[in-house]
Amino acid sequence: MYYRWLYNGIYYVSVSEGYADMNDFYADTGRRIKEKRIALRLSRDKLAVMAKISDKFLYDIETGHKGMSAETLYKLAQALEVSMDWLVSGY
């Protein structure tokens, strides 16, 4: 379960029940990003350029090794043409 709210034009996400820890949340979100990237036939390098992040950082996100800011989540959602909700929840 997560909660999302908008403050000063920036979306913030808070995780609550349903995840043992943030690592599970990051792993699930990263998996969805990778699956969508592959479905769109985008290379990791191409998506990183589109989202204006490094390919190493994108790799760390996709593998669940690192989390991301709401701004990075937004940029990835825009590049993948999905909602931020879908990236964090799968719905």
Q: What is the CATH number of the domain that holds 76?
A: 1.10.260.40
**What integer pLDDT is reported at residue 20 of this predicted model?**
56
Q: What's the one-letter identity of residue 62?
A: E
**CB distance 35 to 27 below 8 Å:** no
Measured CA to CA, the distance from residue 90 to residue 44 in angstroms comes to 20
**CB distance 1 to 18 below 8 Å:** yes
- Phi then psi for 90, rounded to 5 degrees? 85, 5
Per cent of the chain over pLDDT 70 is 77
**Number of domains within the chain:** 1
Residue 2 lies in a domain: no
pTM listed for this prediction: 0.77
Residue 49 lies in a domain: yes
**What integer pLDDT is reported at residue 7 of this predicted model?**
55
**What integer pLDDT is reported at residue 6 of this predicted model?**
52
Q: What's the one-letter identity of residue 4?
A: R
Residue 4 lies in a domain: no
Residue 7 lies in a domain: no
**What integer pLDDT is reported at residue 88 of this predicted model?**
87
